[in-house]
Structure 1
Amino acid sequence: MRIAISGHRSLPPATETLVAEALDEALSPITGGITGLTCLADGADTLFSRAVLAHGSQIEVIVPAEHYLAGLPEEHHAEYRKLLTQAAQVHRMPFIESTSEAHMAASQHMLTLADELWAVWDGQPARGYGGTADVVQAARDLNKPVRIIWPDGATRD
């Protein structure tokens, strides 16, 4: 099974804990291993990647742009690099700058590789092009199953 992840970034610490627990719970009944597809952004992508690896499965990383890392929070750089080295495969998109268009193209590519999408999403509209709501809609347009993960008590901002 190949599961793509999309979800909110910059989550409050208490929400990160709730989401990490929910992802662990969602992965626990899956037997036979999975491949987690991720762009390794801070927040949901990283929490999902850690959980997939902790369950003995593998991740594949889609890098949206050559300068993608520069657009992520500096405090996330070490974790990004660490997880990237653990990827079974890395897919690099042909963009230089880390723009919302590059991010959405990476998400669309990720969806073509996936059997389903897990979205760490509060159900609200995207705050900018390529946000979680847009990725959820793209998955639905491709008739991919979507599993929403937003635990009770989770908040944004």
Structure 2
Amino acid sequence: MTTTAEIQTPLAIDLERETATFLQELSDVQSDLLSVLHLKRQQMVANDLEAMQQTAESEQALVERLDNLRDSRKVLLENARGKGLPADSLHSLAKVFTDGESSELAQKAHNAKDAMRHIQNETLTNFVLAQQTVLHLSQLLQIIATGGKIKPTYEAENASNQGGTLVDQDA
């Protein structure tokens, strides 16, 4: 494994600075996204459509920032690969700069990974809430459309007339 002493060239120091900057920007976007997801869930519960539309605009801006960060991450890892440094993940790259897991950069990379899992959970929670709302509205529409009288799938009183009419009944 490459150690800090082996990579203390000006190019590696620039790469370390770029990694630190990237991780800070990622942390900022993740924090903002978690706030927006929480706000969005509150708005969904309150059925505040106007506020949800405004939140959707903020959410879209964050998605664009994440897209830009994804592109930056790709370039950063390609630069690391070109310098012979680990380029499979930001966490492995960050560990190189300060020798190990306890480094500040490695910790930031680990925190970013944890934050992404938290964002996935929040997104799933919002999705389930939205799906439950759609299901509830669908059931309400069905009740309105049928006047509250839902025809049973199987009728006990007409069970004898349910099949076998070509074989069992004389025409």
Is the structural similarity TM-score above 0.5?
no
Q: TM-score range by the shorter chain?
A: under 0.3
- Higher share of residues assigned strand: 1
Larger Rg: 2
Comparing both chains, which one has the higher relative contact order based on Cα–Cα distances under 8 Å and sequence gaps of 6 or more? 1
* TM-score between the two structures when normalised by the length of structure 1: 0.21
Q: What TM-score, normalized by structure 2, do the two folds share? A: 0.20
Greater helix proportion: 2
